[in-house]
Chains A and B, each alone.
Chain A
Amino acid sequence: MKKRLVLFLALMLTLVTGVSALTTTTASAASDNSLAKVQKKGTLVMGTSPDYPPYEFQATVHGKTKIVGMDVAVGQKIAKDLGVKLVVKSMSFDSLLVALQTGKVDMVISGMNPTPARRKNVDFTHTYYQGGYSIVINKSDKGIYKDKDSFVGKTIGAQTGSTMYNESKKQTSGTTVKGMTSVSDLILALQSHKIQGVAMEKPSAQAYVANNKELAAIPSHFDLSASDTSASAAFAKGSTSLVKAANKSVDQIKKQDLVNKDYLPAAGKYLKTNTVNTSMLHYWKAFLTGVEYTLIITVCSVFFGFILGVLLSLARMARGGVFKTALRWLATAYVEFIRGTPMMVQVMFVYFGLGLIVNLPALTSGIIAISLNSGAYIAEYIRGGINSVDDGQTEAARSLGMSSGATMRYVVLPQALKNIWPSLGNEFITLIKDSSIVSIIGVSELIFQSNIVRSDTYRGVAPIAVIMVIYFVLTFTASRLLNYFERRMQHD
């Protein structure tokens, strides 16, 4: 099915659950009231990864972007039957199950198939849709390839770690299987003849073929068990009452064949309106949102990171009693730890790990994580800057009766700041680019937005080119501004 439990996610889950073994146990023990809880709050929060038409994707409706697709229709049906309002929250597929476990969302519907591995961590409803696999090829090759067995000596692409990927490896011989993380990248590789076919689910294949005249779909003839091709809604482990209620809706959907009769045709209509105008200009609002969030994250993180950096650098230079030594050790340990772990892991840890204690929105979590990260680096710059200021400056200020604090604030720090301004500028520009990491927790910054535009328009390169230019404009403007202030500070 769609995507997979990556080893990384599994590790993350283990870590998160391990850290909070107690919290999780109490949560699952008390989750018999899961249905009552949702009904009491009046909303059902659905997590989904909207880059997988026609299951779920973003469409522009009356000038506004919203998440649509057959999974959203399923979610709406469940919410309606429960008598609550559906709230759709988008995030990367990898983060969905963790979000469910940590209570960020109540339910996950994202073309997810109920594999035994997933069943260990979450509860699934009955299957609401039974799909199958197709292979998408270039229309010009239509006579050459018939099914999975026609690709001897050729290459088939599939999403890395997905069931399609595993089955393609297992059920073909003499065929190279190439894995990529996103379907739009695979289609791009197909069109540039790097691969000869892409294995994907039937509805997706149909959507791609319908929207791209260069492509054609052929049956895969993979030998598959039902659970490999089915899609279910996932709920937190132990929320029996909620799953039971949702199953009523799912059973109705199956009985009345609502997916094929209503949901898929409706999704197809959105797909059409979506692809009427695939020019990048049409999506300027999506990119603007991306720029907005990228800037919010960067500016906030530099601001808080700077304050944290000043405090950390002062703590690292503290000398004296037991308390000051402890402070110095703590600050040093913090800086070393942050610099020695990937920012991506830190972002996920803040969002999911801290999320067990306080429920922070993704944007706030992103800003916190990047501030914490940036603070460690800025602390080192500031420490270097302070050391670069001549001791005579401190002595002069102290001889005038200024306290060590006032000396630091009025005499040393301003000069240190001037000395490290170019490094701070670099940090700022790096952050503009690195803020893209928060896309994994679903903050709609530039990378996240571009991925959505890519899957909406079936255009692989144009959105990348657009954000490349946008990033450059942002960083270039920032570096000009920083240079201007650097010149203003030059007195010697």
Chain B
Amino acid sequence: MTKPIIEVKNLAKHFGDNQVLKDITEQVNPGQVIVVIGPSGGGKSTFLRCLNLLEHPSSGEVDFAGEDLTTLDDKRVNELREQMGMVFQGFNLFPNMTVLENIKLAPMKVKHVDDATATKQAHELLKQVNLDDHADAFPTSLSGGQAQRVAIARALAMDPKVMLFDEPTSALDPEMVGEVLNVMQELAKQGMTMVVVTHEMGFAKSVADRVWFMADGYIQENNTPDEFFSNPQTDRAKDFLSKILM
């Protein structure tokens, strides 16, 4: 049995009186693709953001590679964050830099990679997401699908052990969803550990190793996609699936 790369213990998070996450205990093993689904407002994004401490949990533990992030100092948290790439719903590319500069920034400023090496690596990553011809473009000239693929390349440039996706296709026009999901699927095939918050049920069915169904601040079900979609256990999941499946 391999050691889990992410282990969450009794995680809770509240904003003021609003209890968003209530006592979550789960783990992610290396190479696993976890898809987190559930109704809006169920705490999916907050949960994902707790994994790399963009949100600080109110209580509980978030262990990454055996270290509890909630107890570490800023410097160590930064070092561990390098190993967790994150892709956002709104891309969050740096608008004042070209595509290439977006990708090179963190390797050069955090890992102190020299310019030539960083440039070479950035071009390789852009080829991987089929956007090398846009290396010198600025983010605003890209379509949503292109921007999200650049964002994925930017996260991969830090050579992460885990990739976190926060509704990566929700802000995209329907015809662009496919190109982003293809890149993610490709990544999963290469063995990347991924935690994906999404509403793309097709992606969950075909790519996920486990589906975590999250509602009301709890992970209500943790199952294989086949089991979850064909035989949901909780009423909450049944209700959810009946609303989204045609």
Contacts and interface: CB of A to CB of B under 8 A. Distances in A.
Contacts of A415: 94-96
B158 A491 contact: no
B143 interface: no
Contacts of B204: none
B79 interface: yes
Among the interface residues A390, A396, A411, which one has the most CB atoms of the partner chain B within 10 A? A396
A340 interface: no
Query: A-B pairs with the 8 shortest C-beta distances?
Result: A401-B82, A396-B92, A399-B86, A492-B140, A400-B106, A392-B92, A491-B138, A401-B81
A85 B138 CA distance: 66
Given A392-B88, A398-B81, A406 B140 contact: no
A121 B84 CA distance: 72
A384 B139 CA distance: 24
A481 interface: no
B54 A489 contact: no
A273 interface: no
Contacts of B155: 399-400
A348 B64 CA distance: 59
A402 B111 CA distance: 10
A400 B90 contact: no
Among the interface residues B86, B92, B105, which one has the most CB atoms of the partner chain A within 10 A? B92
B78 interface: yes
21 contacts: A392-B92, A395-B86, A396-B88, A396-B93, A396-B154, A397-B105, A397-B106, A398-B54, A399-B81, A399-B86, A400-B81, A400-B85, A400-B154, A401-B79, A401-B81, A401-B110, A401-B158, A402-B110, A406-B110, A411-B94, A415-B94
A414 B54 contact: no
A414 B54 CA distance: 22
Contacts of A492: 95, 138-140
B92 A393 contact: yes
B78 A402 contact: yes
Given A401-B158, A406-B109, A492-B139, A392 B90 contact: yes
Interface in A333-369: none
A390 B93 CA distance: 11
Contacts of B96: 414-415, 418, 489, 491
Given A399-B52, A400-B158, 6 more contacts: A392-B92, A399-B85, A401-B81, A402-B109, A414-B96, A415-B94
Interface string A393-425: 101111111111010001100110010000000
Interface residues of A, number: 22
A70 B180 CA distance: 87
Interface of A: 390, 392-393, 395-404, 406, 410-411, 414-415, 418, 489, 491-492
A401 B78 contact: yes
B168 to A, nearest CB: 13
Nearest to B139: A492
Contacts of A410: 105, 109
Interface of B: 52, 54, 74-75, 78-79, 81-86, 88, 90, 92-96, 105-106, 109-110, 138-140, 151, 154-155, 158, 164
Contacts of B82: 400-401
Nearest to B140: A492
B8 to A, nearest CB: 18
B53 to A, nearest CB: 9
B106 A402 contact: yes
Contact of B88 (A395, A402, A414): A395
A415 B88 CA distance: 19
A393 to B, nearest CB: 6
Nearest to A399: B86
B106 A401 contact: yes
B111 to A, nearest CB: 8
B234 to A, nearest CB: 32
Contacts of A414: 96
Nearest to B98: A491
A488 to B, nearest CB: 11
Contacts of A393: 92, 94
B92 A403 contact: no
A13 B38 CA distance: 74
Nearest to B53: A398
Nearest to A489: B96
B181 to A, nearest CB: 21
